[in-house]
Structure 1
Amino acid sequence: MSDSQSKKPGYAEIASHYRTLIADGTLAPGDEMPSMSKVCETFKVSITTANRAYKQLKSEGLTVPKPGVGTVVADQPRVATTASARLDRIARTGKPYAKKEVSTEHTAQLRSMADPILADQLNVELHDEVIVRTRTFVRDGKRTVFAVSCIHMRALGDVPELLSPEPFDRFWQEIYTARTGRAVTKAPERRSARLAYDYELQALQVDVEPGTPVPVLVLVNTFSDEDGPLEVWEDVYAPGLWQVDNG
């Protein structure tokens, strides 16, 4: 057996394993985590390594001690996942949503591109017509993210369903690739903050007077094929939420 085959995982790898199970919903809030002895048996590691892995998960707020039970998966009412993590989860599990998550108020329409930043990212002229799809993510009854997809018009010929507000049963770019043979790649996710627009606050049900300045976290993902930018996906987070990379 080679050294790479016999090498035991470190605490960070073990923590990553359980982090992924929690992110995918395999381990849901309130579920009991495996005992330390079970972790040692599964990964063939010492109790010290297992303990360090569990301490890491606890420090990230993913698990909590429960008297008489042991360690359980924590509830995370103020956590929302990133778009990148959401796509990673879909690739791993096929699940479009996290545990207790749904999306609502889906819209799809042709609109004039009025945002100069998004126009530049999509490589279109200001006021050019683009496909705009919106939806609001809700987790455990709380609105977390208002998502906007601005899609280049050249995608419409191959995926006319983009103008239907109904959500796809899989990521629409997979359909595009299947029909065109063109691979779609994602640029690194960009993160910034700005003041929310009134319509975003309405979608997130933030109860403030119109015009009240409310800072929000914004994540932007750009997808391209061989002809250039294809989609710009903007996620606007509800105020007070933590953003994490777990799907």
Structure 2
Amino acid sequence: MPPIRRYEEIAAHYRRLIQDGDLSPGDSLPPLRKVCDEFSVAMATANRAFQLLKSEGLTEATSEGTVVAARPDVAVTGAARLKHLERTGSTRFPGETSSNHWHGLRSVADPLIAELLGVEPHDEIVIRRRVHHREGGPSTFDSSYIHVRALGPVEELLGEGPMERFWQEIYKERTGRELIKSPERRTARIISQTELEALGIDMPADRTAAVLVVVNVFHDEEGPLEVWEDVYPPGAWQVDTE
């Protein structure tokens, strides 16, 4: 992996502040000269970092300087959600809510999910689904496909309603096993009727739309344990924060 360049480090610093809610829409970023002093970089480096944030839709230039944008089309990635968990202990960002929680034991119908989870098509797995809503941004439809062996240490996976803690944290506490995340995968496909309904999108029956799909796979020493799939609504895009 190539080394992270200084302007990328600076952009990542302010991106985290924006995502964690320390900088809200309309808040000003420091003047470039102050950024140069704080990070000991040249003006061109600081300016390149600010241009990167602007290209991601996170900031905008005004007569008063650079401010945090409303971000109406930028959605949260699964990787960003996990990084936020490491920093704050929560998978939810400031102002974020969730709805349409569903969970149950079902046979896995998608052959790709079966392959990634290391099971046979139509084997029984745990499926947990929810819709995340974030003020000023698009909702995302998230699905977790979990190997049934996780039910031994974390029987709460089939409990009523959303879990109070991220289930992987409970699993690690009770088993002593570390979970490793594979590189994030991104693809696009046609949105399904289930996803349209979950995201509250009203689309004529004779029309279709493509959606961005981001997949993270988690393993422990026995093999794949969870496939986490994020589906972003048509027109939404996400920023790579890893």
Provide TM-score, normalisation by structure 1: 0.87
Q: What is the CA distance between 1:31 and its match in structure 2?
A: 0.8
Q: Can you list the C-alpha shifts for 1:172-210, whole angstroms capped at 9, x where unaligned?
A: 111101001111111111111111221111001111134
CA distance in 2, matches of 1:210, 1:112: 28
Matches within 5 A, 1:1-247: 10-67=6-63, 69-140=64-135, 143-210=138-205, 212-246=207-241
CA distance in 2, matches of 1:127, 1:136: 25
The 3 A distance-change label for structure 1 pair 212 and 121 is same
- Specify the SS of the correspondent of 1:178: helix
Q: Can you list the C-alpha shifts for 1:99-133, whole angstroms capped at 9, x where unaligned?
A: 43221111111112122221121111222211110
RMSD after superposition: 2.1
* Structure 2 counterpart of 1:5: none
Q: What is the CA distance between 1:211 and its match in structure 2?
A: 6.7
Q: What is the CA distance between 1:48 and its match in structure 2?
A: 4.3
CA distance in 2, matches of 1:34, 1:216: 35
Structure 2 unaligned spans of 5+: none
Q: Residues 81 and 245 of structure 1 are in contact (CA less than 8 Å); yes or no, is this contact kept in structure 2?
A: no
Q: Can you list the C-alpha shifts for 1:131-186, whole angstroms capped at 9, x where unaligned?
A: 11000011227652111111111111110110124323332111101001111111
The 3 A distance-change label for structure 1 pair 38 and 190 is same
CA distance in 1, matches of 2:188, 2:169: 30
Q: Letter of the 1:85 partner, please give it.
A: A
Q: Residues 74 and 137 of structure 2 are in contact (CA less than 8 Å); yes or no, is this contact kept in structure 1?
A: no
The 3 A distance-change label for structure 1 pair 140 and 120 is same
- Runs of 4 or more consecutive aligned structure 1 residues displaced over 6 Å after TM superposition: none
Structure 1 unaligned spans of 5+: 1-8
Q: What is the CA distance between 1:212 and its match in structure 2?
A: 4.0
CA distance in 2, matches of 1:125, 1:40: 55
Q: Residues 212 and 237 of structure 2 are in contact (CA less than 8 Å); yes or no, is this contact kept in structure 1?
A: no
Q: Letter of the 2:25 partner, please give it.
A: P
The 3 A distance-change label for structure 1 pair 13 and 214 is closer
Q: Letter of the 2:224 partner, please give it.
A: P
Provide TM-score, normalisation by structure 2: 0.89
| Percent of paired sites with the same residue | 54
Q: Residues 23 and 246 of structure 1 are in contact (CA less than 8 Å); yes or no, is this contact kept in structure 2?
A: no
* Structure ID, larger Rg: 1
Q: Letter of the 2:20 partner, please give it.
A: D
Q: What is the CA distance between 1:39 and its match in structure 2?
A: 2.1
CA distance in 2, matches of 1:45, 1:234: 38
Give the aligned length.
238
The 3 A distance-change label for structure 1 pair 147 and 48 is closer
